[in-house]
A and B are shown apart, each in its own frame.
Chain A
């Protein structure tokens, strides 16, 4: 793999110029946003018993941005309501998330078809029978954990919608390209084919073949799917407005499912040689009580590392960008935007590379683990 063209000086220079220009352009925009967010904070503060604005609030805002939510926020008070589907004690309950307004402080009782619920910090709970001292229907135990029980939440949240959008894009693009190959058999690629063919060949020649040897063919569909799914979602997460903006690959449940697929593939395809390495490792017999547990733990740490790596990388990138933007509000000066915004642009460009590298690493490590499982026995080592 050759990344040198990315670090080509001409492009870097033009990015730097763009960053400086953007920073000047965004001065006025940021001052307006600063003012409006100040008033928004003021009203929020009034609602919250005039609590003073603290740095803690900013970390809450950042964590709220990277979390899943029941609505897709566009700007100001404009948001796309999404269906909430709950499996409660009274069976299935569903409603649009804007049916009961936007109160998520847990101070209001919601009545969804006879089921009493309370909405608190983006989650639905069963309410306590009496209001607590702070006016909410939420009870805490002495460790500060929420005591209320929750209905099973199978809502179509922001992440689910984002997943459906990206799957639709992938299906449309790849079915179209596959049909083009059938129609134009033996001819030169055209249109989308020309973009995707080099990438598919890159996955085949640089990822699948070196790790899997001559058995690469059967695993290509999985590797290509994982590669394009992770890459597309990493990139969509970097778009700050509607079709993107959901932190999908930075959601541990999503990365867990991807890692689980790799785990199932390695376990199902593991041959005698692979399981032999696990249960009869090449060590003196008296080391078996030590080595076998270590090997068995090793089976699970590999997919867990895959899961955590993707989750933490993408989440860290989002937190980094939001923190740099938040510097303007922490230092309470518009002038900081002159430094923060070019820096955000710089980090965003790095995140574009990270989005690709993480997709590449997820795929190559999946191929590596599958390759270990299907490897033929070679001469004694």
Chain B
């Protein structure tokens, strides 16, 4: 029998979503940088900001999962 909290599954699902999002952002940024190497530093900054927004959603889910399992007080 497997014992655990269902909140872990929620965190996993959120990780899938954020993975797709950050993958897209990173991939497109790479493409952009390969096409225009002189704009690399600008693209990198914009990429990090966008990645931070996507990541925030995943981290919200992780925090909710933690609260769900009652391990952070």
Contacts and interface: CB of A to CB of B under 8 A. Distances in A.
Interface string A305-320: 1001101110010000
A365 interface: yes
A365 B71 contact: no
B53 to A, nearest CB: 8
A357 B48 contact: yes
Contacts of A360: 48
Interface in B17-73: 40-41, 44-45, 48-49, 52, 55-56, 59-60, 62-63, 71-72
A206 interface: yes
A305 B56 contact: yes
Given A1-B41, A2-B40, A2-B41, A308 B60 contact: yes
A206 B52 CA distance: 17
A2 B56 contact: no
B36 to A, nearest CB: 14
Given A309-B52, A361-B52, A365-B52, A1 B45 contact: yes
Contacts of A313: 55, 59
Contacts of A26: none
A364 interface: yes
Contacts of B71: 59, 63
Interface in A236-295: none
Given A361-B52, A365-B49, A365-B52, A3 B59 contact: no
Task: Place the interface of chain B in its size category.
Answer: 10 to 19
Contacts of A368: 49
Contacts of A364: 45, 48-49
B62 A312 contact: yes
Interface string A156-194: 000000000000000000000000000000000000000
A2 B45 CA distance: 9
A381 B60 CA distance: 33
Q: For chain B, what secondary structure do more than half of its interface residues adopt (helix, strand, loop), or is it mixed?
A: helix
A361 B62 CA distance: 19
Q: For chain A, what secondary structure do more than half of its interface residues adopt (helix, strand, loop), or is it mixed?
A: helix
B59 A309 contact: yes
Contacts of A308: 56, 59-60, 63
Contacts of B41: 1-2
A145 to B, nearest CB: 9
Interface residues of A, number: 20
A316 B59 contact: yes
A312 B49 contact: no
B57 to A, nearest CB: 9
B12 to A, nearest CB: 14
B49 A2 contact: no
Nearest to B62: A312
Given A59-B71, A308-B56, A316 B62 contact: yes
B69 to A, nearest CB: 9
A2 B39 CA distance: 11
A365 B45 CA distance: 11
A206 B49 CA distance: 12
Interface of B: 40-41, 44-45, 48-49, 52, 55-56, 59-60, 62-63, 71-72
23 contacts: A1-B44, A2-B40, A2-B41, A206-B45, A305-B60, A308-B60, A308-B63, A309-B55, A309-B56, A311-B63, A312-B60, A312-B62, A312-B63, A313-B55, A316-B59, A357-B48, A360-B48, A361-B49, A364-B45, A364-B48, A365-B49, A365-B52, A368-B49
Given A1-B48, A2-B40, A206-B45, 4 more contacts: A2-B44, A308-B56, A316-B62, A361-B49
